[in-house]
Amino acid sequence: MNFNDFNFKSTLQEAIDEAGFKEPSPIQKEAIPPILEGKDVIAQAHTGTGKTAAFGLPMINLMDGKSGIEALVIVPTRELAMQVSDELYRFGRLSNIKTATVYGGTAYNKQLERISLANIIVATPGRLQDLLKSGKLKIKPKFIVLDEADEMLDMGFLDEIKQIFKLFNHKKQTLMFSATMPQAIKILANEILVEPTTITITKSDSTNKNITQDYYVMNESERDDALIRLIDYKNPSKAIIFCRMKKEVDRLVTHLVASGFKAKGLHGDMEQRQREVVIRAFKQGQVDIFVATDVAARGLDVNDVSHVFNYHIPFDSESYVHRIGRTGRAGKEGEAITLVTPSELKALQKIQKDIGSKITTQEIPTKDEVVNSQQDNLIELILNTDEAQSSHEVIKKLSSHLDITAIAYKLVSLVQKQNEIMGANVIGMNLTQIERLIEQKSNERDDKGRRRGGGGGGNRNAPNRNRNRNQSGGGGSRSGDRNHSAKKKWD
């Protein structure tokens, strides 16, 4: 089955194709048809299984884009409000559907101005209730969606939700999505939904089948080194590292930045504006590694996250599912990596049993394996790079000074060292700049060799695109392996 089978309007299908969505996930297969038929729906499915598209696509398909506010989506956190709003806008923009976010910490007038131009509101319960009770917001949406209903219950929003629905006594289509179904949520569903279609995604479908799940065993004192060794080896294009506590986030970000990674952190003590800046930087590729507490597990929605690292094992299986659901999205493959000590293996086995999918044990790569992996990445990059006309001009000009083998050696060395030479990048540089850099690095190598009384050695490793430093291939050390009281088995 693919998305064409739903017979969406052409503008929506075009947006789906642009987003790279291929086959619908289990929750999308089950939820989209009854929503298109106009039925109320209550669906149980974990984060990362495509719930936003499950309610957003059929909702947008049924909207005309001309009737003011047609849909209201209520979510528990500001981060989730922004992410859901962004995704709905991405799906709806070709259909002239606009979104607005409503949450605390932002001026009322600014949000009301955006609402006046929107068709979908994505809101947190507190600010939404304030706007409705004060009369500043008067709407009669065709659709109301409760997303992450159990999370709103956990955060104490149940009374606000009940009050909000008392203000919407008109005929509407109501959709409720929740990862779990505690008794209070079932009672709420009976109060606000009318003859709903009930959907439950089974345990075997709770985690995305596109996600490879591995775990690595090490001693507690080796956790930082193991993490950096794995980042070097896996070479993620974009990664999220989950920690249990805020202080761990701050410490680990400092450690990663000091080790040369482009990393930022997110936790509950940060101001809203600062959180928005960090999330935007991660989405736009200015930050490659995002370190967060579980506050981001539900609220962060970025489709091109290649790897999720559990720096510490989560407290429960539900948190694990939410965390790893940040990768393997939109039909892409992802990898979830969990670091555990021997004493944590029993807790990991319980998570594996709860989620119904296999988490495979792996060995932390050695330094040689890291070097080989980085060299393979460089070879793949070269093989997959198209030849531009400017490249032919560079080779032609260089060939008057060097034979083709020497040119190849020097260009590869230059690519390996591009982070070291103040962030210089061959792509987009003119011929003179490239020649100057090659000559500069050649002279530097010769000078070093003369000072040592022998030939200079080049860089030992291929580059990692997440770094701004010259690597040694070791677990994050800039000049060889760190000093340890005992030699690790993966040295």
In this prediction the pTM is: 0.56
Query: Does residue 186 surpass a pLDDT of 50?
Result: yes
**452 contact partners, CB below 8 Å, separation of at least 6:** none
Over the stretch 384-442, which tens digit does the pLDDT of each residue have?
666 666 677 777 777 777 777 777 767 777 666 654 443 334 444 444 544 555 555 55
| Dist. CA 3–CA 6, nearest whole Å | 6
Matching residue, tokens 């080779």? 395
Q: How much is the pLDDT for 479?
A: 34
Rounded CA Rg of the chain? 26
Query: Does residue 7 surpass a pLDDT of 70?
Result: yes
Residue pair 343/217 in contact (Cβ under 8 Å)? The answer is: no
Work out the mean pLDDT of the chain and round it to a whole number. 80
Whole-number percent of the chain with pLDDT over 90? 42
Pairing between β-strand 239-242 and β-strand 173-178 as defined by DSSP bridges:
unpaired
Domain boundaries along the sequence of the chain: 3-201, 211-365, 370-452
Largest CA distance in the chain: 86
Q: Partners of 340 in the beta sheet?
A: 217
| Dist. CA 84–CA 66, nearest whole Å | 21
Q: Which helix (H) or strand (E) holds 163?
A: helix 158-166
Residue pair 395/407 in contact (Cβ under 8 Å)? The answer is: yes
Q: How much is the pLDDT for 477?
A: 36
Q: Which CATH number fits domain 211-365: 3.90.420.10, 3.40.50.300, 3.40.190.10, 3.20.20.220?
A: 3.40.50.300
Could you tell me the pLDDT band of residue 476, with boundaries at 50, 70 and 90? very low
Could you tell me the pLDDT band of residue 375, with boundaries at 50, 70 and 90? low
Query: Does residue 470 surpass a pLDDT of 60?
Result: no
Could you tell me the pLDDT band of residue 141, with boundaries at 50, 70 and 90? very high
Q: One fold for both 3-201 and 211-365?
A: yes
Cβ–Cβ contacts within 10 Å for residue 458, how many? Answer: 13
Mean pLDDT, residues 459-468 taken together: 45
Residue pair 147/121 in contact (Cβ under 8 Å)? The answer is: no
Over the stretch 299-352, which tens digit does the pLDDT of each residue have?
566 778 999 999 999 877 777 887 888 888 767 889 999 999 999 998 898 888
Could you tell me the pLDDT band of residue 474, with boundaries at 50, 70 and 90? very low
| Dist. CA 360–CA 445, nearest whole Å | 44
Alpha carbons within 13 A on the beta-carbon side of 254: 6
Q: Partners of 101 in the beta sheet?
A: 122
Work out whether the CA dihedral 48, 49, 53, 55 comes out positive or negative.
Answer: negative
Query: What CATH number belongs to 3-201?
Result: 3.40.50.300
- DSSP 8-class letter at 210: T
**Which ranges of 307-459 would DSSP assign to H, the alpha helix?**
317-324, 345-355, 367-383, 389-398, 404-416, 431-452
